[in-house]
Amino acid sequence: MNREFGSSEPENPERHEHGHSENRHVTVFVNEQPVKLHGSSATGSAIKRAAIEQGVPIEESFLLHERLPGGTSRLVRNDEEVRLRENLHFLAEPEEHELTVSVNEQPVKLHGKAATGAEIKAAAIRQGVLIQQNFILQEELPNGTSRVIGDNDQVHLREHLRFTAIPPDDNS
């Protein structure tokens, strides 16, 4: 024991065997931002919480993917233990939500929680709705009126929203 060489605490073999890996600090990256973690493993939830506490702009509801060599990735479940090592890279992003809206009475599938007017029109065109990108997009409101959605205006998406798209020179 090192007591005779000035050490004030007795040597604890258990601390060295088990405590070393539990007390080590590892830097991983979440959305390209460094996140310091403690220990030899952490759950997906713990990695996201640490990232949030350290200022990474994500939410606990985001999906976490571990980036793998070769440009692939794998989903890390919230309760899954990940063996930590320096320079692991993770991507945290909102879960994609697919929903259906209508444009000129035709179903259009959209992904995400928000879209611009230009994105809604582009999706409608890709899905066979006979409109053009320069058409004026209007959201049909429940009270029977409508509001114009500009190309850069954000729309918070919900299932069953109804839109009409009309040529810019149509005065109807």
Task: Show which of 62, 93, 124 is a domain's final residue.
Answer: 93
Q: What is the pTM of this model?
A: 0.48
Give the pLDDT of residue 155. Answer: 93
- The CATH number of the domain holding residue 103 is 3.10.20.90
Same domain, 9 and 89: yes
Q: With contact defined as beta carbons under 8 Å apart, do 92 and 48 qualify?
A: yes
> How many domains is the chain partitioned into structurally?
2
pLDDT in tens, 63-83: 999 998 888 889 999 999 999
Same domain, 118 and 79: no
Give the pLDDT of residue 22. Answer: 56
Instruction: Please provide the average confidence, as pLDDT, over all residues in the chain.
Output: 86
Give the pLDDT of residue 6. Answer: 38
- The CATH number of the domain holding residue 28 is 3.10.20
Same domain, 124 and 77: no
Q: What is the DSSP string of 97-166?
A: -EEEEEETTEEEEEESSEEEHHHHHHHHHHTT-S--TTSEEEEEPTTS-EEEE-TT-EEE--TT-EEEEE
Same domain, 34 and 80: yes
Structure confidence at residue 20 as a pLDDT band (50, 70, 90): very low
The pLDDT of residue 103 is above 50:
yes
Boundaries of domain holding 155: 98-166
Same domain, 8 and 87: yes
Task: Show which of 72, 93, 114 is a domain's final residue.
Answer: 93
pLDDT in tens, 110-168: 987 789 999 999 999 999 999 999 999 999 998 999 999 999 999 988 888 999 999 99
Give the pLDDT of residue 170. Answer: 66
